[in-house]
Amino acid sequence: MSKKKLLTLSLAASLALSATAVSADTLSKQATEKVHVNKDTQTPDFISGTLTEPSDQDAKEIVFTYLEENEDTYKIDKKDLSSFKVISQETDDLGFTKVKLQQKFKGVPVFGSVINAHVDQDGVLTSISGNLAPELYDKKSLKKGATLKAGAAVEKAAADLEEKIGSSPELEAEVTPELVIYSKDGQAHFAYSAEFEFLYPEPGNYQYFVDAKTGDILDSYNQIHEAKPSGGGSSLTGEDSTATGKGVLGDTKSFNTLVNSSGSYLVDRTRGSGIFTYDAKNRTRTPGTLWLDSDNVYNAAYDGAAVDAHTYAGQTYDYFQDVHSRNSYDGNGAELISTVHYGRSYNNAFWSGSQMVYGDGDGNTFVPLSGALDVIAHELTHAVTDTSADLIYQNESGAINESMSDIFGTLVEYHFNNKPDWQVGEDIYTPSVAGDALRSMEDPTLSGDPDHYSKRYTGTGDYGGVHINSGISNKAAFLLANGGSHYGVTVAGIGNDKAGDIYYRTLTQYLTPNSNYSHFRVSTIQAATDLYGASSAEVASVKAAFSAVGVN
């Protein structure tokens, strides 16, 4: 397989791709800019450098002006610019103002086409990250709008889903279709986007795209690990307390509870909007019953899964708050809700779209899955991803999504010195087999996953290899933190703390929904540049780590 090439060009070269003439003054002004071109669209997905002159204008006005001046580079036209929507604007701890924009065409959002623009303290635009859908104005399929009603589109998707899973699901939330433009493989369609979240007959959160003219199913995938979260809540009153209890593996922990005349509840009101842990009692209804104990001592065997879920949710919260100044997964103190003892012998854990859910395992493949800190941190990182980069859960963007969860699951484990290693789920997987794990980040090939981009999976299984191809990034992360040689490339390790800072900035500042591995590389280089400088040893290590796994 051919390797994906990273093209570092001047803006003049990028403009030449769109056959647009530019003046000598423009070429001179833009000569130092670096442009990374998406190989599929042949338009930029990352431009960095001194993109504008200093300005006292609002950051979003600086960005809009730049886009208008470079409309030919992105293969958009002036009337498209009025259809960009500002999703958010915020200033980070380095002084950069990030403006997040959603591309729209004819007033309709283009699915996955989001860009992040950064303006420094002097009002200079320093980067634009993200891939826009080009030349929508030339698509015959978009000349006329939707003709199918939204309700009919939902019925089409529901029928397809029922056929896919074998029965009609019991939905956890009402399906609310949205008209979008769905662009894939050079084709663009008006489509209805719809999500189906359910736990019966099996857990799922399926994303559907239905052609808004023909009713054809354009695409569908299960995004249960990347679903849209929403809070729960508790109106309990009482006094905050500290309890002790034994976890799944028999270790004693202390954790926060709420105590009143009824007893001790697994409610922690000291972190964000609270941490709440529930008991499904081996049923498949969530959240279940808020966990209540009589004496504030949780030592029964049945308590173990709840003790770990509650404690480890708090530790994951603390990692993101203390290390990255992020208040819960959404940055705004969202509640963390967990349900344990879900189903019977259920061998999985997942973010359902509303909360964390943990099975007890069958005792052979898994013990209760909440017994591993890296598993809990992995799943909660999916919620962090969803509320930041929002990486689409299929193909390369889905593999990056999965890898980010493995990376931060491991970093949280190291942060709390909880038997840390570069394996995933080793504490709760196959209890009778010593030394194995769900995945190894040090050597992804142990579980059959690729450790180099040239060996990536290109089929349709696993939603385009979201778990399989995460091995590529996992190996790069291991090398970045620890150092080593791989495929003839030597990487100088920079340690967990610096690697974590770089990946967190990459995830929250530069990655966008449809990022691929090539975009991931330039985004991570930019994050390291922001933190340590373009000529730093850290930037050199980031470049070497991606090169070692064939992402150039």
The residue-averaged pLDDT of 178-196 equals 94
Q: Tokens for 121? A: 């303290």
Model confidence over 482-533: pLDDT tens digits? 999 999 999 999 999 999 999 999 999 999 999 999 999 999 999 999 999 9
The residue-averaged pLDDT of 281-304 equals 95
To which H or E segment does residue 98 belong? strand 97-105
Amino acid at 498: K
CATH superfamily label, 395-548: Neutral Protease Domain 2 (1.10.390.10)
Instruction: State the pLDDT at residue 140.
Output: 92
pTM over 0.75: yes
The residue-averaged pLDDT of 441-456 equals 97
Name which of 111, 344, 341 is nearest 209 in CA terms. 111
Instruction: State the pLDDT at residue 20.
Output: 34
Q: How many CB atoms neighbour CB 75 within 10 A?
A: 21
| 333 conformational bin, left if phi > 0, alpha if psi -120 to 50, beta if neither | left
Instruction: State the pLDDT at residue 269.
Output: 97
Per the prediction, the chain carries an average pLDDT of: 91
Amino acid at 84: F
Q: Is the pLDDT of residue 4 over 90?
A: no
- Candidates 3.40.50.740, 3.40.50.80, 3.10.170.10, 3.40.50.10540; CATH matching 239-386: 3.10.170.10
Neighbour-count burial of 344, counting CB atoms closer than 10 A to its CB (0-12 exposed, 13-18 middle, 19+ buried): exposed
Q: Is the pLDDT of residue 355 over 80?
A: yes
Q: Is the pLDDT of residue 286 over 60?
A: yes
Q: Is the pLDDT of residue 10 over 50?
A: no
The region of weakest confidence among 67-76, 107-116, 154-163, 227-236 is: 227-236
Name which of 132, 133, 81, 108 is nearest 212 in CA terms. 108
- Candidates 3.30.310, 2.60.40, 1.10.3470, 1.20.5; CATH matching 8-138: 3.30.310
Inter-axis angle of helices 496-505 and 537-548, nearest 10: 80
Model confidence over 120-131: pLDDT tens digits? 999 999 999 999
Instruction: State the pLDDT at residue 118.
Output: 98
Whether the Cβ atoms of residue 142 and residue 124 lie closer than 8 Å to each other: no
- Just list the catalytic residues: 379, 467
What does the buried/exposed string (b/e) look like for 273-292 if buried means 16 or more CB atoms within 10 Å of the residue's CB?
bbbbbbbbeeebebbbebbe
Q: How many CB atoms neighbour CB 19 within 10 A?
A: 7
In the block, which residue shows the tokens 């190996």?
Answer: 475
Instruction: State the pLDDT at residue 114.
Output: 97
Instruction: State the pLDDT at residue 1.
Output: 36
d(CA 134, CA 151): 30
3-state secondary structure of 293: strand
d(CA 226, CA 249): 29
Read off the pLDDT band of 331 (50, 70, 90): very high
Read off the pLDDT band of 82 (50, 70, 90): low
Instruction: State the pLDDT at residue 351.
Output: 85
Domain parsing of the chain, residue ranges: 8-138, 150-222, 239-386, 395-548
Instruction: State the pLDDT at residue 225.
Output: 66
Q: Tokens for 233? A: 């809540």
More confident of the two residues 337 and 199: 337
Residues 6 or more apart whose CB falls under 8 angstroms from that of 59 comprise 89, 97, 99, 117, 119, 123
Whether the Cβ atoms of residue 420 and residue 413 lie closer than 8 Å to each other: yes
CATH architecture designation of domain 150-222 = Roll (3.10)
Q: Is the pLDDT of residue 227 over 80?
A: no
Model confidence over 373-429: pLDDT tens digits? 999 999 999 999 999 999 999 999 999 999 999 999 999 999 999 999 999 999 999
Question: Percent of the chain having pLDDT more than 90?
Answer: 85
Whether the Cβ atoms of residue 62 and residue 125 lie closer than 8 Å to each other: yes
Question: Percent of the chain having pLDDT more than 70?
Answer: 91
Residue-by-residue DSSP string for 101-118: EEEEETTEEEEEEEEEEE
